[in-house]
Amino acid sequence: MRLMLLVGKEEQELVEVMMKESRPLNLSEMDGFEGNTGIIVVAAPNRADILDSALLRPGRFNRQVSVDVPDIKRRTDILEVHADFANLLNEAAILAERRAKTAISSKEIDDSIDRIVVGVEGTVMTDSKSKSLVAYDEVGHAMCG
C-alpha cells in the first residue's frame, strides 16, 4: 500500500529505519499462522530482487506470481466494468463549480476519485463497503503502478 510519498533523502532514511525495525515483528507474525486458517498474505513489492531472504523461507511466501501491467485494452475493459464515470464527472463538475472554474480539469477528476473512494476529508470509514473500495483501489495501484 502507498504509505507515504518520499520527497527527499531524510524521508528515505526514515522509511529504511522503520522497515528494518518492523521486519522482525512482521516475520514473527507470519510464522504465527497454523494450519489452514483461511488467511492469505499478499505482497506487491516493487523490487522482488532485493527482498529479505527470510521472507521467502518455506511457510511464509511459498508462491510468487508475476502480474503484468494491463495493456490499454485491458485497462479500458476494467474501467468499463468497475468505474462509474457519470458519478465521477458529476462530482468533478460540483468541485469545479465550488472552485469557480468554468471547466473540469484533471485536478477536479483526481480530487473526485479520492472523494468517491476514500470519502470526504475528515470522515471515518467504518462500513465494510468503504473499506473494501479502498482496498480495491490500493490493489489497483499495486498492479498498475
pLDDT, tens digit, 9 for 90 and up, residues 97-119: 999 999 999 999 989 888 887 77
φ, ψ of residue 29 to 5 degrees: the values are: -65, -40
pTM of the model: 0.38
Categorize the per-residue pLDDT at 1 as very low, low, confident or very high, splitting at 50, 70 and 90: very low
Q: What is the pLDDT of residue 72?
A: 92
pLDDT digits (tens, 9 = 90+) for 49-100: 777 777 777 777 777 788 888 999 998 888 888 778 888 899 999 999 999 9
Answer yes or no: is pLDDT of 4 > 80.
no
Looking at every residue in the chain, the average pLDDT score rounds to 76
**Closest Cα partner for 125 from 114, 134, 138?**
134
CATH 1.10.540 fits 72-144, yes or no: no
Residue 103 CA to residue 30 CA, distance in Å, equals 50
Domain range list for the chain = 9-56, 72-144
Answer yes or no: is pLDDT of 9 > 60.
no
Cβ proximity of 68 and 38 under 8 Å? no
Which one-letter amino acid corresponds to residue 37?
Answer: T
100 vs 47, more confident: 100
Catalytic residue set: 138
Answer yes or no: is pLDDT of 14 > 70.
no
Q: What is the pLDDT of residue 19?
A: 67
Categorize the per-residue pLDDT at 33 as very low, low, confident or very high, splitting at 50, 70 and 90: low
Percent of the chain, pLDDT > 70? 73
Residue 84 CA to residue 113 CA, distance in Å, equals 10
DSSP 42: -
**Closest Cα partner for 116 from 142, 141, 95, 145?**
95
